[in-house]
A and B are shown apart, each in its own frame.
Chain A
Amino acid sequence: GAGVSQSPSNKVTEKGKDVELRCDPISGHTALYWYRQSLGQGLEFLIYFQGNSAPDKSGLPSDRFSAERTGGSVSTLTIQRTQQEDSAVYLCASSQEGTRGRPQHFGDGTRLSIL
């Protein structure tokens, strides 16, 4: 079956521009997560959506970052006025439901480079 799909796979943009990253989770998965992975580092939690509940935005590093999930499926992560420190791989994951002990299924990420 189809896994988590992310687009674009690579994005190069100039400092100050806005970028939008897309995540299409596995069908039927109600929980969706965004992470950021800097070079050689672990994953940094950004935001979590579960069904119709208010998202957990506690990991967003600044107000330049926002995310939405429309219709409980596709999610977009938007970074406004990008900075060079935003360069990283942005990973999306989904799981069957937002309960403990559910493995997360990851997409291959969007590699974002800010010039």
Chain B
Amino acid sequence: SQQGEEDPQALSIQEGENATMNCSYKTSINNLQWYRQNSGRGLVHLILIRSNEREKHSGRLRVTLDTSKKSSSLLITASRAADTASYFCATELGSGAGSYQLTFGKGTKLSVIP
């Protein structure tokens, strides 16, 4: 099964509101990354948080990581129509074979209504 699972599967908000997406995972990780995918395009890296970090910020993005609960959240503040996309979390394992692989969840589809 997928290492990362996002929820909600879909989220629709008004422009200017905040959007929160959550990701849960199952095994020990080295880091967790969030990516954005616009329709018909590849994934774009947004932010990486390491297992020894609890929170990171990048512009309007805030990511938290709770390794005790094996969960992460991505907050987009003051959303814009251009933020409409699918958002994926991806985990990189802590050790062992395949540790350089990223395991992706199924994504949250965010719609920001102007």
Contact surface of A with B, Cβ cutoff 8 Å: 4, 31, 33, 35, 40-43, 45, 48, 50, 56, 58-59, 91, 93, 98-101, 103-109
Interface size class of B (residues with CB under 8 A): 20 to 34
Are the C-beta atoms of B106 and A31 separated by less than 8 Å? no
B68 at the interface (CB under 8 A from A): no
Q: Mark the stretch among B11-19, B42-50, B59-67, B74-82 that contacts chain A.
A: B42-50
Offer 27 A-B interface pairs, CB within 8 angstroms, sorted by A: A33-B101, A33-B102, A35-B104, A42-B4, A42-B107, A43-B102, A43-B104, A45-B102, A45-B103, A48-B101, A56-B98, A56-B100, A58-B97, A59-B101, A91-B42, A98-B100, A99-B100, A100-B31, A101-B50, A103-B48, A104-B43, A106-B35, A106-B42, A106-B43, A108-B42, A109-B41, A109-B42
Contact residues in A for B105 (Cβ distance below 8 Å): 42
Residue of B nearest to A56 (CB): B98
In the complex, how many angstroms separate the beta carbon of A87 from the nearest chain B beta carbon? Answer: 16
B101 in contact with A103 (CB, 8 Å): no
Q: What's the nearest-Cβ distance from chain B to residue A112, in Å?
A: 14
Give the nearest-CB partner of A103 in chain B. B45
**Chain B residues within an 8 Å CB radius of A31:** 100
CB distance from B86 to the nearest CB of A (A): 9
Residues on the B chain within 8 Å of A101, using CB: 30-31, 48, 50, 92
CB distance from B50 to the nearest CB of A (A): 7
Residue of A whose beta carbon sits closest to that of B30: A100
| Chain B 25-64 interface 0/1 with A at a Cβ cutoff of 8 Å (1 = within) | 0000011010100001111110010100000000000000
